[in-house]
Amino acid sequence: MSSELKQEKIDLNYSADKSVLSSFIHFFTDNNNEPKYLNMISHKKIALDLNDIAIHDHMLVNRLRSNFMTYLRMLYEIIDGVNTPSDVAMIHRLERMKEKYPGVDAAKKFPPALMRDYVLDVVPHAQHTLGIRMLRSDKVGHFVTTRGIVTKVSHTRPSIKVAVYVCDSCGSETYQQVNNQEFTLLAVCQSEKCKTMKIRGTLSLITRVSKFEPFVSVCLQEMQGDTPEGCIPRVINIEMKDAEVRPGDCIYVCGVLMARQLIGLMNEIYLEGFGIAECKTKGTDDLMVDGEHVQDESAVIGSIEHCDDVTEIDRTNYSVQNLMASFAPHIYGMYDVKKILLLMLIGSPSITKADGMRIRGDLNVMLMGDPGIAKSELLKYCIGLARRGVYTAGRGSSGVGLTASVLRDPFTKEFVLEAGALVLSDRGICCLDEMDKMDENDRLSLHEVLEQQSISINKAGINVRLNARCCVLGAANFKKGFYDDKKSLEHNTGLPVSLISRFDVIAILRDEKDESRDRELAEYVARQHLKEGDESGSSAVLSHTDLKTFIQKAKTLNPRIPSHLNERIVGAYTAARDKYERLTPRFLLSLIRLSMAHARLRLSEEVNEEDVEESVRLLEVSKLHKVKDRQRELSPKYQIYNQIMKMKTSGRTLRLEDVVRSINYDEQTILNVIKEFEENGIWVVEDGNLHIFD
Q: What is the pLDDT of residues 207-240, one digit of tens each?
A: 888 889 998 989 998 887 677 766 778 889 999 8
- Residue pair 437/480 in contact by the 8 Å Cβ criterion: no
> Domain range spanning residue 152?
124-306
pLDDT tens-digit map of 249-276:
888 999 999 998 888 788 889 999 999 9
pLDDT band at 649 (very low <50, low <70, confident <90, very high): low
* Residue-level pLDDT at 411: 67
Residue 559 located in a structural domain = no
pLDDT band at 515 (very low <50, low <70, confident <90, very high): confident
- Residue pair 597/557 in contact by the 8 Å Cβ criterion: no
Domain boundary among 260, 289, 306: 306
pLDDT tens-digit map of 134-163:
888 889 999 999 998 888 888 888 889 999
* Residue-level pLDDT at 308: 54
Cα(328)–Cα(332) distance, integer angstroms? 9
| Residue at 138: amino acid letter | D
**3 state DSSP class of 684:** strand
Cα separation values, 658 from 286, 289, 646, 663, 673, Å: 86, 87, 13, 9, 15
* Residue-level pLDDT at 488: 74
For residue 644, pLDDT over 50 is answered with yes
Virtual torsion, Cα 561, 562, 567, 571, nearest 10 deg: -30
> Minimal CA–CA distance to 436: which of 501, 486, 378, 490?
490
* Residue-level pLDDT at 355: 80
Cα(271)–Cα(156) distance, integer angstroms? 17
* Residue-level pLDDT at 633: 52
- Residue pair 600/557 in contact by the 8 Å Cβ criterion: yes
Q: What Rg do the C-alpha atoms of the chain give, in angstroms?
A: 36
* Residue-level pLDDT at 345: 93
Share of the chain above pLDDT 90, in %: 14
Residue 273 located in a structural domain = yes
Q: 638 — phi, psi (to 5°)?
A: -75, -25
> Minimal CA–CA distance to 456: which of 446, 447, 466?
466
- Dihedral sign of CA atoms 473, 479, 485, 489 in order: negative
Q: Which residue has the higher pLDDT, 629 or 529?
A: 529
Residue 168 located in a structural domain = yes
For residue 191, pLDDT over 50 is answered with yes
pLDDT tens-digit map of 78-91:
998 888 777 777 77
* Residue-level pLDDT at 422: 86
For residue 280, pLDDT over 70 is answered with no
* Residue-level pLDDT at 597: 93
Cα(366)–Cα(450) distance, integer angstroms? 12
| Residue at 116: amino acid letter | R
Q: What is the CATH number of the domain that holds 684?
A: 1.10.10
Residue 591 located in a structural domain = no
pLDDT band at 539 (very low <50, low <70, confident <90, very high): low
CB atoms within 10 A of CB 365: 24
Mean pLDDT of the chain: 81
Cα(648)–Cα(662) distance, integer angstroms? 13
Cα(666)–Cα(428) distance, integer angstroms? 64
Q: Which residue has the higher pLDDT, 298 or 162?
A: 162
pLDDT tens-digit map of 34-62:
888 888 888 888 899 999 999 988 889 88
Q: How many structural domains is the chain composed of? A: 2
Picking from 382-391, 405-414, 640-649, which range would have the lowest pLDDT averaged per residue? 405-414
* Residue-level pLDDT at 592: 92
Domain boundary among 291, 306, 321: 306
Cα separation values, 365 from 119, 236, 391, 576, Å: 47, 34, 14, 19
Domain boundary among 283, 306, 329: 306
* Residue-level pLDDT at 599: 92
- Residue pair 72/258 in contact by the 8 Å Cβ criterion: no
| Residue at 515: amino acid letter | E
Q: 654 — phi, psi (to 5°)?
A: -125, 145
Residue 642 located in a structural domain = yes
CB atoms within 10 A of CB 448: 17
pLDDT band at 293 (very low <50, low <70, confident <90, very high): very low
DSSP-assigned letters across all residues of 76-97:
HHHHHHH-----HHHHHHHHHH
* Residue-level pLDDT at 291: 37
* Residue-level pLDDT at 650: 57
Residue 322 located in a structural domain = no
The separation between CA 458 and the C-alpha centre of its own chain, rounded to angstroms, equals 22
* Residue-level pLDDT at 636: 80
pLDDT tens-digit map of 299-355:
333 444 444 555 555 666 778 888 888 888 888 888 889 999 999 999 998 888 778
Q: What is the CATH number of the domain that holds 202?
A: 2.40.50.140
Residue 611 located in a structural domain = no
Return the axis-axis angle of helices 298-305 and 544-554, rounded to nearest 10°: 40
CB atoms within 10 A of CB 617: 12
* Residue-level pLDDT at 340: 92
Residue 298 located in a structural domain = yes
Q: Which residue has the higher pLDDT, 283 or 482?
A: 482
pLDDT average, residue stretch 516-534? 73
pLDDT tens-digit map of 599-610:
999 888 999 999
Share of the chain above pLDDT 70, in %: 87
* Residue-level pLDDT at 208: 87
* Residue-level pLDDT at 341: 93
